[in-house]
Structure 1
Amino acid sequence: MKILISTFTFWPQSNGVANCAYMQALAFVKSGHDVTVVTSGENREDFHEGIHIVRLPLSGNRRLLDSVAGKENYEQFLLNNSFDVIFFHCWQAWPVDGAIEVLHRLPAKKVLVSHGISTNTAFDFRSFIAKIRWQYYQKALVPVIFKHLDHIVFLEDYTDGDRFLDRELKDKYFPGLAASIIPNGGHIYQNGNVNSFRQQHEIPKDDFMLLVVGNYSRLKNEQAALEILRKLNREDVSLVVIGAKRNDYKDELLKLCENYPLGLQKKIYLLDSLTKEEIGDAYLNASLLLNVSRTEAQPLVILDAIANGVPFVSINRGSISKIPGGETCDNYGEMPTVINRLINHKLELEKLAVEGLAASLSKYNWTVYAQRYVNLVQQLENSSKDNKYEQ
Structure 2
Amino acid sequence: MTSAVRRSPHEGKPRLRILIGADTFWPQINGAATFIARLAAGLAERGHDVHIVAPSYSNKKLGTMVEVHEGHKVTLHRLYSWRWLGHPWLRFMMPWRVKQNSARILDQVKPDVIHFQSHIIIGRGMTIEGEKRGIRLVGTNHFMPENLLDHAYIIPKFLRRKAIQAGWAAAGRSFMRAAWVTTPTRRAAEYLEANTLVRNVVAVSCGINADGYNGNLEPKPENLIVFLGRLSDEKQIDKLIRAVAILDQALDAKLEIVGGGELEGKLRALAVSLGIEDRVTLTGFVDQEQLREALQRGSVFAMPSIAELQSISTMEAMASGLPVVAADAMALPHLVHDGENGFLFEPGNVDDLAAKLTQVLTLPADELLKFKKESLAIVADHDIQRTLDTFESMYRGEEVAAASSSSNKKESAS
Alpha-carbon distance in 2 for matches of 1:353, 1:344: 14
TM-score by length of 2: 0.75
Counterpart of 2:121 in structure 1 is 94
Question: Per the alignment, do residues 98 and 241 of structure 1 end up closer, same or farther by CA in structure 2, a change over 3 Å counting?
Answer: same
User: 1:242 pairs with 243, 249, 258, which one?
Assistant: 258
- Asked if the contact 1:27/1:371 (under 8 Å) is kept, the reply is no
- Asked if the contact 1:222/1:293 (under 8 Å) is kept, the reply is yes
Counterpart of 2:361 in structure 1 is 343
User: 1:360 pairs with 376, 379, 384, which one?
Assistant: 379
Correspondence 1:118 to 2:145? yes
Question: Per the alignment, do residues 254 and 32 of structure 1 end up closer, same or farther by CA in structure 2, a change over 3 Å counting?
Answer: closer
Once superposed, what is the RMSD of the aligned Cα atoms? 3.2
1:324-343 equivalences under 5 Å are: 324=337, 325-331=341-347, 332=349, 333-343=351-361
What secondary structure does 2:382 align onto?
Answer: coil
Shift of 1:183: 0.5
Alpha-carbon distance in 2 for matches of 1:191, 1:315: 24
Alpha-carbon distance in 1 for matches of 2:27, 2:241: 31
Question: Per the alignment, do residues 252 and 277 of structure 1 end up closer, same or farther by CA in structure 2, a change over 3 Å counting?
Answer: same
User: 2:205 pairs with 169, 172, 183, which one?
Assistant: 183
User: 2:164 pairs with 125, 130, 134, which one?
Assistant: 134
Correspondence 1:272 to 2:287? no
Q: Figure out how many residues of one structure are paired with residues of the other and give that number.
A: 356
Counterpart of 2:12 in structure 1 is none
Counterpart of 1:165 in structure 2 is 191
Shift of 1:68: 4.8
* Per-residue Cα deviation, 1:245-272 (whole angstroms, up to 9, x for no partner): 6x5x3222222333334xx332222222
Comparing 75-84 with 286-295, greater Cα deviation is found at 75-84
Identity of aligned residues (%): 17
Shift of 1:113: 1.1
Comparing 210-219 with 314-323, greater Cα deviation is found at 210-219
Alpha-carbon distance in 2 for matches of 1:274, 1:147: 38
TM-score by length of 1: 0.79
What secondary structure does 1:98 align onto?
Answer: helix
* Per-residue Cα deviation, 1:65-111 (whole angstroms, up to 9, x for no partner): x98514244232255242221000124x3221334643541311111
Question: Per the alignment, do residues 322 and 55 of structure 1 end up closer, same or farther by CA in structure 2, a change over 3 Å counting?
Answer: same
Alpha-carbon distance in 2 for matches of 1:329, 1:122: 26
Counterpart of 2:17 in structure 1 is 2
Counterpart of 2:333, as a letter, is S
1:303-342 equivalences under 5 Å are: 303-323=315-335, 324=337, 325-331=341-347, 332=349, 333-342=351-360
* Per-residue Cα deviation, 1:222-252 (whole angstroms, up to 9, x for no partner): 211110011213232111112226x5x3222
Counterpart of 1:251, as a letter, is G
What secondary structure does 1:211 align onto?
Answer: strand
Correspondence 1:231 to 2:246? yes
- Asked if the contact 1:189/1:308 (under 8 Å) is kept, the reply is no
Question: Per the alignment, do residues 11 and 292 of structure 1 end up closer, same or farther by CA in structure 2, a change over 3 Å counting?
Answer: same
Counterpart of 2:19, as a letter, is L
What secondary structure does 1:295 align onto?
Answer: coil
Counterpart of 1:150 in structure 2 is 179
Question: Per the alignment, do residues 30 and 207 of structure 1 end up closer, same or farther by CA in structure 2, a change over 3 Å counting?
Answer: closer
